[in-house]
Amino acid sequence: MTHPAAEPAPSAAPAAGTRASAHHQILIIGGGTGGITVAARLRRAGLRDIALLEPSDTHWYQPLWTLVGGGQAPLRAALRTEAEVIPPGVRWLRERATAVDPAARTVTTATGRVLSYGRLVLAPGLSLDWDGVPGLAAAVGHDGVSSNYRPDLAPYTWELIRRMRRGTAVFTMPSGPVKCGGAPQKIAYLAADYWRKRGVLGAIRPVLALPESSLFKVPVFARALEQTARRYGIEVRLQTELTRLDGAAREAELTDHATGTAETIRYDLLHAVPPQHAPRWLADGPLADPASPYGYVKADPQTLQHPDFPEVFVLGDVANLPTSKTGAAIRKQAPVLVGNLLAGLRGRPATARYDGYTSCPLVTARHKMLLAEFDYDLRPAPSFPFLDTTRERTDMWFLKRYGLPQLYFQGMLKGRA
C-alpha cells in the first residue's frame, strides 16, 4: 500500500551555519503510536507538509504482547506494516534520527542527511537495555528465560508457561519508568491462572519481584491486586529487582533495596523486563531533562511543549512526564499536542491541557481484568463511571482483547479517537 507524498514545503532558509537537505513544516520522529496518531490528526486538520522519520517496516500494537505471552492472542493480531498505518499525504522518510539541534531547528539522520523543520514532534519511544542486567542479554530467548517486551519472544513465554508442571517461576520488573508498568505483573497472573486450571499451581513457586513499595500506585487497585496475588499464592517481593542472571546455571540474583541484601534463586522459568531509557541520541542531547536519570525528554506536563524550545513537542514513552507510559496516555496526549501545535502556527497561545490521564488494563486471569484509569494526582479517572472497574470483570477483558485493538487501528491511528 502506498501513499502520496505531502505537498512540497514553502521555501525556507535553514538557520545560519546549518546545511539542510530538506525542510518540512512539521517533522515527526517516530512511526509508532504517538507519531502516527499525531500525523493523522494533523492531516485531518488540513496540514500538508508533514514528514515522518521511521526506519522500521513493521508497526506493532504492543499491548497485545502480554496476551500473546499468556496464550490468549496470536502474535499476528498485533502486527501491521508501517505503510498500512502511515496517513495518506504524509511523507515517510525511512531513516533513523541520530541527533537534534533545536537551536538550528535541524535533525540529522543515520545517512548524514540534515532536515530542517518549523515544528518538531518527538515520539521515538524508548530503548530496551538488555545489557542493563548482567547476564540478561545472553540468557533471554532460551533455557527458560523470556520477555513479552520483545514480540519474537512473547510466543516463547507462552511455550514456557504451557510446558511447566513444577518448579520456580520468577517474574521481574526493573527500576525506573518503563512502558506499560503493569505488564511485568500481568504475565504472572495469567501464568498462575493457567497453572491453577491445569491443577499444577500447587507444585509451582511463583515469585514476583517489583522495585516499587506497593503493587500499584493507586491504592484502590493495589488492594485488588494484593487479593489477586494471594489467590494464586504468588510470593511478592517489593522494592526488589533482578540484578544478575546466570543463564547456564538458571540462577537469578534478586536484590532487596530496602535491606540491601541479595538472594540467588534457582528458576525453571524467568520472565524478565529489561531496564529502559530514552534513545541515546536524545539522552545525550540538549532536549533531555536533567532531572531524568534515564534521559527522557523535558516537556511541560500540561502543554507537552519543550520549555526551552517551544517549537519542539513531545509525547509518549520518551516524554519525562509523571504518569505511566501507555498507549492510553498517548490517546489523551495527542489531541492536546496537536491543538497547541496548531495554535502556535496560527500565532495563538497554547491553551490545551493534558491532565496526566493514563490507563493500565490489568489482566488478572483468563477473561478477567481490572481497568485502572487515573491522572497526575493518582485520582481514579474512569471512562465508564457506571461500571466498577476496580474489580475483575469479564467485559473489560473482552474490551482489551477485541475492543481496544479496533479503537487503536481504526480510531487512534486514523486521528479519530
Output phi, psi for 368, to 5 deg: -135, 140
Helix (H) or strand (E) holding 11: none
Which residues have a Cβ under 8 Å from the Cβ of 202 and sit 6 or more positions away? none
Whether 340 is a known active-site residue: answer: no
Residue listed under C-alpha cell 508498568: 181
C-alpha count within 13 angstroms, C-beta hemisphere, residue 390: 16
Whether residue 180 lies in the annotated active site: yes
Contacts of 208 (CB under 8 A, 6+ apart): 171, 185, 188, 229, 234, 235, 236, 237
Is 320 within 8 Å of 287 (Cβ atoms)?
A: no
Which residue of the set 47, 121, 180, 350 is catalytic? 180
Out of 145, 224, 360, 381, the active site residue is 360
Distance CA 289, CA 279 (A): 13
Residue whose cell numbers read 513544516: 25
Cβ burial of 63 (10 Å; 0-12, 13-18, 19+) is buried
Distance CA 363, CA 373 (A): 14
Indicate the angle between helix axes 154-163 and 183-198, nearest 10 degrees.
30
DSSP labels, 291-355: T-TT-PBP--TTT-B-SS-TTEEE-GGGB--SS-B-HHHHHHHHHHHHHHHHHHHTT--------
The set of catalytic residues is 180, 360
